[in-house]
Structure 1
Amino acid sequence: MQPLELAADSLEYVLVPWVMTADGVDVDPVARGIAAELAFVRPGSVPAPEAWVTAQWERALGLWHARVLVGPEGAVPLPRGTYDVWVRASGGMQERPVRRSSGRVRVI
């Protein structure tokens, strides 16, 4: 999968798809009170506790996505480089999943 390429001066939302089911039915994270966080780390790294930022849920193209504003003046001002994107969810469920997204972000 090609990385999402962003200009260093771009300010935009990065969306990470999230699929969760319970008893074969898609889970609505907003209705369940599930919180989302994203972390952007160098490839091959795992997020440190301070790397996590609060994300919002958005429904797009029939899927739920965790999203955060990336760029200057955003929640995540990334310097030039390539990043793995991690997502974690908590609250409103027994599990506390932490997953690395299949995509990467490259800031150029």
Structure 2
Amino acid sequence: MLTLPATTTEHVRALVTPPDGTELAGIPVSMAVVPHDENPAPDEWHDADWSGNWARLMIGPGGAQTLTRGTYQLWVRVDPAGAENIVRRSGPLRIT
């Protein structure tokens, strides 16, 4: 489990393995950091960006989302061309 202080401002990342033949650069990606185990609601998603095959979202003061102490679930959503619409829970995040 990734543990970060509430005062940090940095990217959290999620590795995405795309369908064969798919280049992720240029495909919109969103991420959600939620304090529950359910699928994120539409208003909980934030625009993210790519660093190679890593989706990343800036969290913390001045970022897309400021988090308080607690345990969160990190989600990533990618919609490449074709039939797939990828939504994955990437893992837990603890804010201290």
Q: Structure 1: 5+ residue runs without aligned partners?
A: none
- Within 5 Å, give how 1:47-86 maps onto structure 2: 47-59=40-52, 64-86=53-75
Q: 2:31 maps to which residue?
A: 38
How far 1:91 moved relative to its partner?
A: 4.5
CA contact (8 A) 1:11 1:73 kept: yes
Task: State the 4+ residue runs in structure 1 displaced beyond 4 angstroms.
Answer: none
Q: What is the distance in 2 between the residues matched to 1:35 and 1:92?
A: 11
Q: What is the distance in 1 between the residues matched to 2:73 and 2:57?
A: 14
Q: What is the distance in 2 between the residues matched to 1:92 and 1:44?
A: 28
Superposed CA deviations along residues 34-86 of structure 1, whole A, max 9, x for unmatched, are 11000011242220110000000102xxxx01001010110111111111111
Q: Higher Cα Rg: structure 1 or 2?
A: 1
Q: What is the distance in 2 between the residues matched to 1:74 and 1:4?
A: 18
CA contact (8 A) 1:11 1:71 kept: yes
More displaced 10-residue stretch of structure 1: 39-48 or 8-17: 39-48
How far 1:5 moved relative to its partner?
A: 0.7
Where 1:87 maps in the other structure, the secondary structure is strand
**TM-score normalized with structure 2 length:** 0.90
How far 1:93 moved relative to its partner?
A: 3.3
Instruction: Give the fraction of aligned pairs with identical amino acids, expressed as a percent.
Output: 38
**TM-score normalized with structure 1 length:** 0.81
Q: 1:106 maps to which residue?
A: 94
Aligned residues: 96
Q: 1:20 maps to which residue?
A: 18
Q: Structure 2: 5+ residue runs without aligned partners?
A: none
Superposed CA deviations along residues 9-44 of structure 1, whole A, max 9, x for unmatched, are 00000010000132xx5x3211xx311000011242
